[in-house]
Every structure is written in structure tokens, then in C-alpha cells.
Structure 1
Amino acid sequence: MLLGSLLPQQNLTLAASWPGLFVDKQGVYWDVPLSLSADLASVGSSSGLSYHLLLQQNSGEPKCFGGDETNDVPLALLPGLCAKAAISIKRSIDAWRKKEDKLKMVQPYDAFLSDPHVSFTGIVGAVASGSLGDCSKRISVPDETRKSNAFRVFHERNKFAACADLFASVTFTAQHGNFQRLFLDLTRVSARLDISSGSLFLRGASRLAQDFFFSRRPDLETFCDVCPDVIVSLQQQFSQ
């Protein structure tokens, strides 16, 4: 209650486990002697500034719980202190929205899907992380950073690592219908373009510009660097 009154627009989560049980990507369970974490995030909004902060401290050597002792320990569970931060700016624009012509005295099946509209949403942000201790080794592993050209620092002797990068996303949404009738009252189409690594995108764009200037044929890897991830979805109500 006290934290809620002091931080009315944020979500704060404190967690401690001794021991803590975690599962890796292969489904193997690991026993961590002590794990402490603090998570602070701004409350989501349709537009504006948002942030997310995380601190995690692991102590003791992780042990495989009921599995093969030859499995490699996940780097994120190694002893040490890890801090992560993300900040973004979100902007939503309605190109068209219709609030009239709704059925009176009839509640829509979903209040968030009750207005026909055409809208655009853009997000630009940055992420950064720093690690101190054995857990800093994850920054030096190629599999952890192969899809990013982020700024990266790793000092093996001091067991310190840090990295930072940019990201962006653009979403287009179009909806027809108020989702009040039993049949065919909702058609919704959305498309989202995600740039997960801004540094990788800028590197690819720079190489394409150089190839164009010097009349060189760009390679496939350069095209992949500048091509965003595309997600398209279609919702169609047939009956309720």
C-alpha cells in the first residue's frame, strides 16, 4: 500500500528466493542458492514516455536439479549483479475513427474493439544492460549478440560487461464494424514492422548507401540487416 501511494504511475515488484528454481531453454531445472530482483516499470499508456528498470543479483553456484550434470550452466544464472534498462517513446495517431452509428442499449463484446478506425502507432526506444561478476560472460558469447551490432564492452579480467542498442516499431491498424452484432460485425487488419536492432539497421543502411554510390552490387546480408521483421494479422468475426 505504501509503495502504491508513493509510485502511483509505476509498477514495482520485489522478489527474493533462496533457493530459487529456474528452467532453461532445454527444459532443464537449475537450483540457484540465492536470487534477488527488483523490477520497476511505468504503467502502459497509448502515447508518451515509458521505461522499464530491472536489477538482479544471483549468489552461489547453480546446480542442475534432477538432470544431467554435464549440462552447461545458463550464463544468466551465474553469480553476479545484472542491471537492465529500457526507455521508449510511443505515439499513436488516428487517421480516421467513427464513434457514431452504434446500436443503442447493446454492449459490444469487447469495448476496445467497438470503434471502426484507421490508426498508426510508432515506437522508438533504447535498451542498455550492465553486468558485474560471472554473469557478464553472456556478453562475450556470439549466440547472445549475433543479431545485433550494439555498442558492447567486455572486460574479462574485471568481470564487467555492458551493451546498448536502439529499437523501433511501426504498426498500422484498420477496423470495420462495432463488434455488437452476432454475425460479421468485426473485420480487423494490422501490420507491424519491427527493427529489433537500430545499430544493425544503421550499419546496413550505410553499406547500401556506399554500394549505391560506388555502383557495387550489395550482398544478401546487407539487405537482411535493413529489412525489418513483419507481422501481419487478420481478425474476422463470423458468429458469436
Structure 2
Amino acid sequence: MIDVYSWPTPNGHKVHIMLEECGLRLGRDWQVHAVNIGKGDQFEPAFLKVSPNNKIPALVDPDGPDGKPISLFESGAILLYLAAKTGKYLPRSDRAKFEVLQWLMFQMGGVGPMLGQAHHFRIYAPEKIDYAVNRYTNEAKRLYGVMDRQLEGRKFVAGAHYSIADIAIFPWLRSWQNQGIDWADYPRLKDWFDRMGARPAVQRGVAVLADARKPLTDDKARDILFGGTQYAKR
């Protein structure tokens, strides 16, 4: 049984979706341990042993390489591990594999960080800073445009086949309204988004822990996520 330490965020959902797409079923092949990042569970010593960067998700597989347990953090690394373990959603040929990997890196280095900043300054920041709101909203629109152009003549982000690149990107676009996006400007990406959302495994993945997440309204949770608690020495 694979142990997944997670919360219903885009990075958490990436791993939930990947597990389900690989034919691994929640409750049968993997179990989820809720790490409530609004309450500070991510700073507990037991969690830091598997995720020293105090971020979700993290994974512990008792049947890792060579039959030995393995502990992993960073959602992109976990997607790559599960692709290697199951032989799914990462092509074997070098050319096709690197095509997928570049778009996985695009998500890890661009889509996630930039859309995360758009969320923060548009929704969570205690004061509205026009420069920050405009900068990250415009960057969100630029990234959506890159993906929309990439999907011209392609069924999936990295080509003709569904891959970990699609799995990594999709959860980050589910909050498109918070990012200042109008889908009418990105018709190819919207078609892809709808097809992704219709996949049964995707629907199962985004449902994991969905009822546990509540709106961020109290000052204590804000401090834990964005303030002094986050930056305390450990």
C-alpha cells in the first residue's frame, strides 16, 4: 500500500490523478494521509522526515526500486517515479520522452509558480498591490497563450498521447477564474481542459480530500501559509 501525504491543492491533485490513471485505486493500492496546510501539519516532525521542504505532496512506497521502500517529495519527481514504476504516461523513446519532460518542466518552473503568485496577489494578499496583480495576471495570460498555441494540431500538450505533462498542468488551470482568465481567448486550451476534466481517473483524483479544504479566512491560517510560521527556523 502506497502512502500519500497530501492536501487538495493543484500539486496534491497531480499525484492523486496520476495514481488513479495508472490503475492504482484509493483504498486498495494507495491511501491518503491528510496534511492540513492551513493548520500547520506540514511542520510536524513526522511529515518533515518525508518532505524536508515542508510541502505537500509526499509519497512513501514500501515496494520501491529493488523491492526496498522509497520516500519521495516534489510532485514532479513523484510523477516521474510513478511513470517509471507503472510504465505509463512517459514515452520510452528518447525523442518523445524529452518532448514530454520539457512540458513537465514548463509546469514545474512556470505554470505552478506563476499561477500560484497570481492566486496570492489576486485573492490572498492582505493588500492589493496593483503592480503585483497586473504582473502575475499578465504572466498567467501569457502562459495560457503558450499552451493554447502548443495545442494547435495536437490532442495533448506533448503531442498525440496523454502524458504526465497533461496530468501536471491540468490541476493548475482549474482555478482559471482566480487567475483572471477568459476561456474565450484560449479555445484550443479550453477544449483540452474539458477533455481532461471528463476523464474518470481525473474526476476521482480531484475528488480526493476535496471536502476537507475550506476557504482561507482566518488570520492564523494566513500566518501559517504566508507569514512568520512558514519562515520559522526548524
Per the normalisation by structure 1, the TM-score is 0.23
Indicate the structure with greater helix content. Answer: 2
Task: Please give the TM-score of this superposition, normalised by the length of structure 2.
Answer: 0.24
Instruction: Please say which structure displays the higher CA radius of gyration.
Output: 1
| Structure whose residues are more often strand by fraction | 1
